[in-house]
Amino acid sequence: MLEYVNEGGHQFGYRYMRDGSDVPYTCFYTSNVSLPREILGTQPFDPNFRTYGWEDIDLGLRLSRRGLRLIYNAQARVHHCHPMVLRDFYVRQIKVGAAIGTMYALHPDLVQDPLMPPADRPRLWKRVARLCVPLLLPMVNWLDARQVRLPERLYRFVLSDGFWLGRDRAVREQTTRGAERGCLRAVSDCRRRGNASTGSRIVRALHGGMSSPGG
């Protein structure tokens, strides 16, 4: 699994790079990049990223827009000792899927960028993945932990499900928070206008006490 994610999978893409060639901002892997400290400034990472994922790509994007060239040097090697099994990486993918929403919020134009993941996957694909991956994951994890080489498309399918699971959860949570903020504003407006009963109904609806504010 680690060979897949390092060479051409969900974390790195070294198999697609040529020694001495320019690579895009999506290859700004802070686990394996070298540049003068003064280029980074005093706060290189955007604090809007609250969880793991995309904070280094965001930095690479901002630096590239300032004119930074990122060049791949195949002889410059870093030993990053971070053993993982497939289940660990699946959990990581959930976090990465959740964090990409922050990336799109900061840079809305990236939704159309072919270097970035698509904005969504077909609903049928996700339904099939949600049915299959819980059954596949224990078996694939067991085989991978015993260093059984599996087809890349199997790794891609399982890990993609983790990514989209995290992405969909984050979208639902964001939608819920937006609805809660809207309800709380409505409650505040009602109370300010002296209509306490309507405000109380909205609060009960917000917490599941009734089907709708007007019910």
* pLDDT tens sequence across 133-153: 999 999 999 999 898 989 999
Q: Band of the pLDDT at 28, cuts 50, 70, 90? A: very high
Q: Which two tokens stand for residue 81?
A: 């000792």
- Higher pLDDT, residue 26 or 80: 26
CB 53 within 8 A of CB 107: no
Q: What is the pLDDT of residue 88?
A: 92
Tell me, yes or no, whether 171 lies in a domain: yes
pLDDT at res. 37 = 87
Q: Where in the sequence is the domain holding 75, given as residue range(s)?
A: 2-206
Domain-located, residue 60: yes
CA-derived radius of gyration, the chain: 22
In a domain, 134, yes or no: yes
Angle among Cα 170, 173, 176 to the nearest 5 degrees reads 150
Residue 211 placed within a domain:
no
Looking at the predicted structure, is the pLDDT value of residue 214 above 80?
no
Is residue 206 over pLDDT 50?
A: no
In a domain, 12, yes or no: yes
- Amino acid in the structure at residue 20: G
Look at the chain and report how many structural domains it folds into.
1
164 found inside a domain: yes
Give pLDDT tens digits for 162-179.
999 999 998 888 787 665
The end-to-end CA distance of the chain, in Å, is 53
Contact 90, 137 (CB under 8 A): yes
Look at residue 60 in the predicted model and tell me its pLDDT: 95
Give the helix/strand (H/E) hosting 75: none
State pLDDT tens for residues 92-128: 999 999 999 999 999 999 988 999 998 888 999 999 9
pLDDT number for residue 202? 44
Is 212 among the domain residues? no
On whether residue 214 sits in a domain, the answer given is: no
Mean predicted lDDT score pLDDT of the chain = 83
